[in-house]
Structure 1
Amino acid sequence: MRFLKSLTFRHRRTKSETFLAQGETYSFSRDPCISPDDPGSSLTTTVAAANSTKTALNLRLLDLDIQNRRLRDANTGWACLKATREDLLIFRRNHAAADNKNLEQLQATFDNVFAIMTRLGLTTLTEESFQDGLKLEMQIIDAIQEAAVIPGNIWTKVIPSPLVYNSPRQYASALRMTLDTRKELRKSKKVARFWKHLAKMDGQHLEAVTPSASNIPSVCESNLTPDRRTALQMLIARRRQYLRAV
């Protein structure tokens, strides 16, 4: 034990021993590093480049496969759209053909109806009259009423003369004529009163006969002959009968 202790003391270095050269320290990693000049370095680089090229090629192939799938889907979609468009065009052609056929039938029916109305004497109706559906009924009624008063027309057999009524246009025309006549009559009365007043202003015309409206009841029956008296009585009777009818 004493021998071992002395051996340990001999080999112990003190802190003041500075004459010993400190050697360089080296650190080694666990993985050995291959220098560029090593023949195995080029082999490793070639393997890494091959792996990188293979990976890029695989990615490119995967992208190409995705693009092909998208292209197939787009082609399928375009084919569906084309088929749908063709079906729509066929449907519209068939629908247009059916509409044209219906229009031709309606036009033929209209021509037949218009020809029949013309043969029945409804000459006041025109093709423009059928364009306004709201006024067509009144126009047909007016045409029938106007045709019923024409002697020899077929509508005189359908509608007897006592049942024939005037159309609204005829009533309006008669009313307008009546109003114009009354206006002219009032104007004539004013002119007559003016000249009557002017004539009476002069003393020598006091006994002159002035114009006035005629009145049948004021006619002196004592001065009439028997024939004229009979005609007057018949005229009065017809007027009274007319007034009762109105």
Structure 2
Amino acid sequence: MGYHIGVVEDDTNIQNIVTAYLKKEGFTVTVLGSAEKAWGEWEINPPDMWILDLMLPGMDGYEFCKKIRNESDVPIIIISAKDEEIDKILGLELGGDDYLTKPFSPRELIARVKRLFKRSIATAEELVQEKVKVDQLVMHKNDRRVFWDGLEQDVTTKEFDILVLFAENTNRAFSREDLLERVWGDDYFGSDRAVDDLVKRIRKKFATLQLETIWGYGYRLRHEEVNK
């Protein structure tokens, strides 16, 4: 499968069993006996997933999990002899994606590893699909960032929402009433002048964006596909 998994565990028996099962499934495995060594591995050769014991010498698994989560969304499976509900909740709240109580079945661990990788791939594909592009305008919907001709632009919440709506529906005419309902919500009772003001601000920020006025009706974002 080509994935690299870091196993952070100080029990040599568990190290050997987990490593054997993971390698049998085609994973590359790096075994670290402490969180400090695991952090060093993260900085030079970061794994695609962590299998992490909580009770470790020195830095414990909770602290290591927290440090990793400050830098990455890499999947983390916690394995621990601590089976109290509060321990599981804390481990998951600190960023663990799954929690397996010792003693556990190595086959169950493998099943959870595969499930997490499958979920991570699906999430990555979804994130890729969440980018909207029209000419020089690029919007990342997940983190609500807007780029114009390669430079990031500051936009308000409403500016972002209406830009996404136009960009996902190029050449479609929207009435002012439709825009009010879609961007402001159906409980908005103000004037449709709010739409005109918002469009005016967008045109000022994105001067060459083909945001057209349909007189007496509303607006549309013109976009001509180029045949290559």
- Higher helix share goes to which structure? 1
Q: Which has the higher strand share?
A: 2
On whether the aligned pair clears a TM of 0.5, the verdict is no
Larger radius of gyration: 1
Larger RCO (CA under 8 A, 6+ residues apart): 2
TM-score bin (small chain) = under 0.3
Q: Provide TM-score, normalisation by structure 1.
A: 0.19
Q: TM-score under structure 2 normalisation?
A: 0.20
